[in-house]
Amino acid sequence: MRYPPVTLLKENNIQFIRVSMIFLLICVTTRMHFCISSVPSSLETLPVEGHFNFDEVSHAAKDFGNRYQHHPVAVLHPKSVSDIAVTIKHIWQMGPRSHLTVAAKGHGHSLQGQAQAHRGVVINMESLKGTEMQVHTGNFPYVDASGGELWINILHESLKYGLAPRSWTDYLHLTVGGTLSNAGISGQAFRHGPQISNVQQLEVVTGKGEVVNCSEEHNGELFHSVLGGLGQFGIITQARIILEPAPAMVKWIRVLYSDFTTFARDQEHLISAENTFDYIEGFVIINRTGLLNNWRSSFNPQDPVQASQFNSDGRTLYCLELAKYFNLEETNVLNQEIKNLMSHLSYIPSTLFLSEVTYLEFLDRVHVSEVKLRSKGLWEIAHPWLNLLIPKSKIHKFADEVFGNIVTETSNGPVLIYPINKSKWDNRTSIIIPEEDIFYLVAFLASAVPSSTGPDALEYILTQNKRILEFCEIAHLGVKQYLPYYTTQEEWRTHFGQQWESFQQRKSTYDPLAILAPGQRIFQKAIPFS
């Protein structure tokens, strides 16, 4: 008997393998195509009061960061919480065979595509904000608001009753669910904590499509998981927010420092004092001239002659921004209080600038800048922001290197820096913050000008951000990112540190198929946790 040559057998085997692989790829591709093409019909049959949009989805692939665009297959415009629950439950029941994921999108102010869902479903949370807000007055006032409601609308509504939330973000045109999924920080956080420390109750839709009411006493684990949880455990559909009596007016003050040590010492003194300001923030001014002249349109110098003689000479300066709330009948007492408080600070005397505005004008101050930028076509551009939380013990080392050697040119956006008291944060929530009792928020809020090749160019800013992060790592500063963004699970493990196992366990409990918030890139759907 004659056998085929060995070479012929090898060729036949190779040919067989090739044909098999091609057939397998065709099957896989066909199956994936079938799954994707069957998605619209699967969703179309769901009993929702709102509607799905399968054609106009490009807006759901954009965010404020304006750097990432991941298109969904559908956008849900819910009329009720039930619409959200029905949709998620449907995807949950489809199991791992479906690659569908779900992202909740509020006002689209995320920076790195966190509210996007590639070939998934994006829920337009602002469709829910038509739900009527309920303001409850009395000894312990609060407001019940939809997760898709904007904070600016909550402010307007609560002010009708002489009330307002205690803690804010600098920009109010953000949704409740969006900020509570992160933390919500501003100049009031040293006193009241972040927004997640000022919530009493939540309504949440989990990754299984269950609608759960939770608070510190009832379903407490879910309550604390969702707050600062980056959307990983559930979608916040309603929140009960603590209110307090609202003042009528605000004394708004800015002073400058040329020495960082003095600037930081004064900030730390103010956030630790019993009688202090209601709002304390700071920012860094790098290589800018004529700054005080720009302030004159809205701030009055205490001594116009001295202020006009001040020259920054291109130095790096540090601005302390303060606010004291008051009602008109308290003006005289307030002025004396401010005078006493300022007498303990070591700012440059000729740089004391004051303004008096309404409480509403002060809280909504960033929106004025937005309107101006929009008119110039400079709002919907790339925003490669970097937000860091830095332990107090390392802030001087950070400032020396970063403001001395890395950030040496003014970029197109502010650099915020101010301390926060850790005691005002709840360590049961999912937010990750430094270990020390006082830590600083440092935020590089740059905007990248299209076609620029200077310090406001996108690549320049991204390179600068990378250098800052590399320095923090090499110098072992114990820095944590706020609004964190990583691309691998190993990086996320490092970010969460000892809390990673707890975070992972919460995920497996409330969203075991990893359906929710795929844009955070923490977990992948249908991949077992390890």
Catalytic positions:
109, 170, 281
Burial label, 458 (beta-carbon count in 10 A; 0-12, 13-18, 19+): buried
**Which residues are CB-contacts of 86 (< 8 A; sequence separation ≥ 6)?**
46, 47, 48, 209
Q: Count the alpha carbons within 13 Å of 485 in the hemisphere toward its beta carbon.
A: 17
Task: Identify the three-state secondary structure at position 357.
Answer: strand
Answer positive or negative: Cα dihedral of 492, 497, 500, 502: negative
Between CA 117 and CA 102 the distance in angstroms is: 6
Q: Please choose, from the candidates 342, 516, 339, 317, the residue with its C-alpha nearest in 3D space to the C-alpha of residue 417.
A: 317
Residue 175, phi-psi category: left (phi > 0), alpha (psi -120 to 50), beta (remainder)? beta
Residue 231 contacts residue 202 (beta carbons within 8 Å): no
Between CA 422 and CA 278 the distance in angstroms is: 17
Locate the DSSP E strands across 147-248.
163-165, 199-206, 211-215, 234-245
Task: Identify the three-state secondary structure at position 347.
Answer: coil
Residue 448, phi-psi category: left (phi > 0), alpha (psi -120 to 50), beta (remainder)? beta
Residue 402 contacts residue 352 (beta carbons within 8 Å): no
Residue 526 contacts residue 94 (beta carbons within 8 Å): no
Residue 204 contacts residue 219 (beta carbons within 8 Å): no
Residue 445 contacts residue 413 (beta carbons within 8 Å): yes
* Site of tokens 């600016």: 152
Q: Please choose, from the candidates 131, 142, 105, the residue with its C-alpha nearest in 3D space to the C-alpha of residue 120.
A: 105
> SS3 string of 154-177?
HHHHHHCCCEEECCCCCCCCCEHH
Task: Identify the three-state secondary structure at position 28.
Answer: helix
> SS3 string of 86-149?
HHHHHHHHHHHHCCCCEEEECCCCCCCCCCCCCCCEEEEHHHHHHCCCEEECCCCCEEEEECCC
Residue 443 contacts residue 187 (beta carbons within 8 Å): no
Q: Return the number of other C-beta atoms located less than 10 Å from residue 210's C-beta.
A: 15
Task: Identify the three-state secondary structure at position 270.
Answer: helix
Q: Please choose, from the candidates 135, 235, 232, the residue with its C-alpha nearest in 3D space to the C-alpha of residue 175.
A: 235
What DSSP state is assigned to residue 73?
A: S
